[in-house]
Structure 1
Amino acid sequence: MKIRGYHGADINKIVSLFYETVHSINARDYSLEQLNAWAPKDEIEVKLTNWKESLSNNITYVAEINDKIVGFSDMSHNGHLDRLYIHKDFQGQGIATTLVNMLESEARELRISEIDTEASITARPFFERQGYQNIRSQTVERRNITLINYKMIKKLASE
C-alpha cells in the first residue's frame, strides 16, 4: 500500500469510490432511500467540482494498491476530519487506520489539539477503536430524508 497526497487528477476516481462505498458498505446501516439522499447519482457533476476544490484546500491523503485508489481521507486545517472512504473491496485491511494516523500526525505538527468528525453509523465503531469519543448523535437532513450520524472527537497527545 502506498499513501500519497491528493492530486486534482484523482477526483473522478475518488468520487466514484465514494458512491460505490456508500451504496455498498453503508447499506447495512441505512435504507436505500437514505443512501440515495446521501450519495445521489444526479449530484456527481456537482461533487466533481466541489470536492476537487475542497480536497485541494484540505489536507488530503490517498491510498493506492497496485496504482489503484483504494481509499482517501481529508481534514481541514482546523482539525475537522471531513471524509474517510475505503473501497468496498478493500475493507478491513488497515487502510482507514493508516489514513487516519497520517491525518492525526499532520494535526499534531500543526499543533491541533483535537480532531472532530461526523461518523456514520457504519463508521462509528471504527472511530471508537481509534480513540474517538462519541459526543452526541445527530440527525442530518439530505433531500428531505433524515440520517443519523455521530459527532466524535479525539484529543491528541503531543508526540
Structure 2
Amino acid sequence: MIIMKFKEKDTEEIVSLFYETVHSVNLKDYSQKQLDVWATKEDKASTINSWQVSLAHNITFVAKINDKIVGFSDLTDEGYLDRLFVHKDFQGQGIASALVDMLESEAKKRNLLVIETDSSITAKSFFAHKGYNIICLQTVERKGVKLINFKMRKKLTT
C-alpha cells in the first residue's frame, strides 16, 4: 500500500468508493433508508463536483494498492477530519490507521492542537482506539431522515 496526496483525477473513484462503502460497511449500524439519504446515488454527479473542490482545498490523502484507491481521508485547515473511508473489500488491514496517522502528522506540522470529527456509529470504536474522545452524541437529519453520529475530538501531542 502507498499513501499519496489527492489528485483531481482521483475524485470519481473516491466518490464511488464512498458510495460502495457506506452501502455495505455501514449497513450493520444504519437502516437502508438512512444509507440512501447519507449516500444518495442520484446525487453522485453533484457530489463529484463538490468533492473535487473540497478535497483539493483540504489536506487529502489516498491509499492505493496496485494503483487502485482503497481508502481516503481529508482534514480541513481548521482541524476537522471530514471524511475517512476504506473500500469495503479492504477493511481491517490498517488502511484507516495509516491515513489518520498521515493526517495527524500533517496537522502537527501546521501547529494544530486538536482534531475533531463527526464519527458514524460504525467508525466510533476505530476513532476511540486512535485516542479520540466522544464529546457528544448527535442526531443529524438528511431529507427528513435522522441519523446518529458522534462528535469526537483528539488533542494532539507535540
Instruction: State the TM-score bracket (shorter-chain normalisation).
Output: over 0.9
- Whole-angstrom CA distance in 2 between matches of 1:50 and 1:137: 27
Unaligned runs of 5+ in 2: none
The SS at the match of 1:122 is coil
- Whole-angstrom CA distance in 2 between matches of 1:147 and 1:63: 28
Q: TM-score, structure 1 length as denominator?
A: 0.99
Percent identity for Structure 1 against Structure 2: 56
Following superposition, the deviation at residue 122 of structure 1 comes to 0.1
The answer for the alignment partner of 1:3 in structure 2 is 3
Amino acid at match of 2:62: V
Residue deviations 1:88-127, cap 9 Å, x none? 0000000000000000000000000000000000000000
The answer for the alignment partner of 2:115 in structure 1 is 115
- Whole-angstrom CA distance in 2 between matches of 1:53 and 1:80: 16
Q: TM-score, structure 2 length as denominator?
A: 1.00
The answer for the alignment partner of 1:39 in structure 2 is 39
Alignment of 1:59-74 (within 5 A): 59-74=59-74
Amino acid at match of 2:82: D
The answer for the alignment partner of 2:29 in structure 1 is 29
Residue deviations 1:9-59, cap 9 Å, x none? 001100000000000000000000000010011100110100000000000
The SS at the match of 2:62 is strand
Unaligned runs of 5+ in 1: none
The SS at the match of 1:107 is helix
Amino acid at match of 1:108: K
CA root-mean-square deviation: 0.3
The answer for the alignment partner of 1:143 in structure 2 is 143
The SS at the match of 1:116 is strand
- Whole-angstrom CA distance in 1 between matches of 2:87 and 2:141: 25
The 4+ residue runs of structure 1 with deviation greater than 4 A are none
The answer for the alignment partner of 1:134 in structure 2 is 134
The answer for the alignment partner of 1:50 in structure 2 is 50
The answer for the alignment partner of 1:19 in structure 2 is 19
